[in-house]
Amino acid sequence: MMNRILIIDDDLGLTNLLSEYLTSAGFTVDAVHTGEDGLNRALGGTYSLIVLDLMLPGIDGLELLRRLRPLSRIPVLMLTARGEDIDRIVGLEVGADDYLPKPFNPRELVARIRAILRRAQTDEGAPARTRITVGDVEMDTGSRTVHKNAQDVELTSIEFTILEALLRAAGQVVTREHIAEVVLGRKFFAYDRSVDMHVSKLRRKLGNHPDGNERIKTIRGSGYIYTLPEEAARA
């Protein structure tokens, strides 16, 4: 019951592949291809989450969400091919729980679905949380949320996983090869800059330590280190 997912997308090829992939990841999947069917199923069925495409024939994704929200609190993850900020903002305002631009990495989709479901679960009062706290940063691996000074930091799934690896090894070097293999799930290529880009974005989102020291440092030719804040280092 907790793992029933409804996919609403007019791309038949994609829904077939996604159904297969999500099934192999342990979910039960139903797929419909129009907005009308989607709305009926969403209201009638007992799904734990809806994967909703923004561009649909008939009622489009936004309109569907607008009609669904007053009647149901079911979590919705929105997909869009447009990737424009405006869709994201409108989608989240109308009540989507998360947003993923097409083309997405299916592993990221599963990670986000699990995170949303876990959040929904914890909301219902079943705490199964692991917390990692380093200085002013607090990570909840259960709900996949990060807080800095009690303020929510919005991270992508990949950034979250990289931060988790860095925090778990705070004060020690994490190699780029390790990040590539564990986080991105693939071998590291010499000219692959994506690890650097992700760490760079993560660094920008978190900023420096309150005392002005660099939070994440590059170790030349090797990898990255999440530096321990002063008081923690002294203690």
Partner 1 sequence: MRSLFLKIFLTFWAILLLIALAFAVMFWLRMDNPEPRLRAGAAAAASVFGGAAVEEYERHSILGLEKYLARIREHSRLNGSLYTAGGRLLAGETAAPPDLLQQALETGGARIRPRGQGALIAIRVSGSNGASYIFVAETGRRPPPPPPIFRGVPDAMRWAIAITISGLICFALARYMTAPILRLRAATRALASGDLQARADSTRRSDEIGDLVRDFNVMAGRLESLVNSQNRLIRDISHELRSPLTRLGVALELARGQAGDAAAASLDRIEQESEQLNTMIGNLLTLARLETESSAPKRDVVRLDELVKAVCDDAQFEAQAHDSGVKLAHCDQITLSGDASLLRSAIENVIRNAVNYTSPGTTVEVSLKSEASLARIIVCDRGPGVPPQDVQRIFEPFYRTAVARERTTGGTGLGLAITRRAVLSHGGEVCASNRDGGGLCVEMTIPASQPSDAS
Q: Which residues bind partner 1 (CB under 8 A)?
A: 11, 13-14, 17-18, 20-21, 24, 81-83, 102-107, 176, 186-187, 189, 191-194, 196-197, 199-200, 203-204, 218, 220-221, 223
CB of 103 to partner 1, least distance (A): 4
- As a whole number of angstroms, the distance between CA 162 and CA 131 comes to 16
Task: Count CB atoms within 10 A of the CB of residue 196.
Answer: 13
**Residue-wise over 30-50: b if at least 16 C-beta within 10 A, else e?**
ebbbbbebbbebbeeeebbbb
Give the tokens for residue 159. 């950034």
Q: Give the strand pairing for 76-80 and 49-53.
A: parallel
Read off the DSSP letter of residue 8.
Answer: E
CB of 104 to partner 1, least distance (A): 7
CB of 106 to partner 1, least distance (A): 4
The alpha carbon of residue 9 and the mean position of all alpha carbons in its chain are separated, in whole angstroms, by: 20
CB of 195 to partner 1, least distance (A): 8
Q: Which is nearer to partner 1, 59 or 158 (CB)?
A: 158
Sheet with 131-134, strands from edge to edge, namely: 131-134, 137-140, 145-148, 151-153
Q: Which is nearer to partner 1, 107 or 147 (CB)?
A: 107
**Residue-wise over 140-176: b if at least 16 C-beta within 10 A, else e?**
bbbbbbbebeeeebebbbbbbbbbbbbbeebeeebeb
Q: Which is nearer to partner 1, 120 or 159 (CB)?
A: 159
CB of 143 to partner 1, least distance (A): 24
CB of 76 to partner 1, least distance (A): 18
The alpha carbon of residue 122 and the mean position of all alpha carbons in its chain are separated, in whole angstroms, by: 17
